[in-house]
Amino acid sequence: MVILKTEALTRRFGPLTAVDALMISVEAGEVFGLLGPNGAGKTTTIKMLTTLLPPTEGSAQVAGFDIVRQAADVRRCIGYVPQLLSADGSLTGYENLLIFAKLYDIPRTGREERVREALAFMGLSDAADKLVRNYSGGMIRRLEIAQSMLHRPQVLFLDEPTIGLDPLARKLVWEYIEKLRTQYGTTIFLTTHLMEEADKLCSRVAIMHLGKIGALGTPAELKDSIGGNGATLDDVFIHYTSGTLESGGSYRETSRTRRTARRLG
């Protein structure tokens, strides 16, 4: 069953076309990866799909709801973990989740149980009463994913979920993402610059470049498309993005990414 679909989804900023007639579909329960260099349009795509940014043209449906005409319905059935930190360091992990439970209108009678369950699922029960400012980067990311899952969304959007994390913390986050899919049937739509991450987690990936999809398929299919024989997703990425070097986005984007990585690290 298709749970997410775009039809010529387009976003322009003045003369710049950030996302150009995007056509993708995602199956329920799938982990779908959107890969591409900085400035390819990945974050703009996620912002449109999560109703944070209206499209200029085209349309998209998430869980059967139109992202423009039924934006409130879309928001009720999705979770979103952005690149920037969304957890409050001055509160405990439990307090952070309690606030989100109230924002999601989880009934008072089941709120405590839902929060404790989320903490346990993400391996944070022992740290529930500690201030988040004392958490490691991996713990913060797991807490943010727990926040986004409290209302049991059908689709979870993750924008660079392991940015700034060391290999061990990254591996733990990968394990919990896979648990979300297998235990709750959550559909996961993620962006990443890490080809290893995409290869490990994603059932299918799309390579985005200059606002367009250059290739789409399973990691194995994409490797075969450039000849196989030991090809990696890094090779696929270079091939379909023309091997061009990107400037890495604007000064503001670069500053934001480095600030997030520093705080998580």
Report the CATH number that the domain containing residue 164 is assigned in CATH.
3.40.50.300
Q: What's 17's DSSP letter?
A: E
Question: How far is the C-alpha of 191 from the C-alpha of 47, rounded, in Å?
Answer: 12
CB 147, CB 134: distance < 8 Å:
no
Query: Residue 86 — pLDDT band, cuts 50, 70, 90?
Result: confident
Query: Residue 265 — pLDDT band, cuts 50, 70, 90?
Result: very low
Under the phi-then-psi rule, with left for phi > 0, alpha for psi from -120 to 50, and beta for the rest, what region is 64?
A: left
Question: How far is the C-alpha of 257 from the C-alpha of 259, rounded, in Å?
Answer: 5
Question: How far is the C-alpha of 20 from the C-alpha of 230, rounded, in Å?
Answer: 32
Residue 247 lies in a domain: yes
Residue 142 lies in a domain: no
Residue 181 lies in a domain: yes
pLDDT at 246: 47
Q: Which residues, in sequence order, are CB contacts of 183 under 8 Å at separation 6+?
A: 121
Helix (H) or strand (E) holding 188: strand 187-192
Count of domains forming the chain = 1
Q: What's 124's DSSP letter?
A: -
Residue 230 lies in a domain: yes
Please give the structure tokens belonging to residue 70: 């039924």
Question: How far is the C-alpha of 177 from the C-alpha of 155, rounded, in Å?
Answer: 12
CB 157, CB 189: distance < 8 Å:
yes
Sign, CA dihedral 67-71-73-74, equals: positive
Residue 146 lies in a domain: no
Residue 237 lies in a domain: yes
The per-residue pLDDT for range 231-261, each reduced to its tens digit, is 999 999 999 987 654 444 554 554 555 555 4
pLDDT at 71: 97
Residue 125 lies in a domain: no
For residue 201, the enclosing domain spans: 2-88+155-264
Residue 13 predicted with pLDDT over 70: yes
Give percent above pLDDT 90 in the chain.
76
Question: How far is the C-alpha of 44 from the C-alpha of 151, rounded, in Å?
Answer: 24
Residue 136 lies in a domain: no
| Span 33-40, average pLDDT | 92
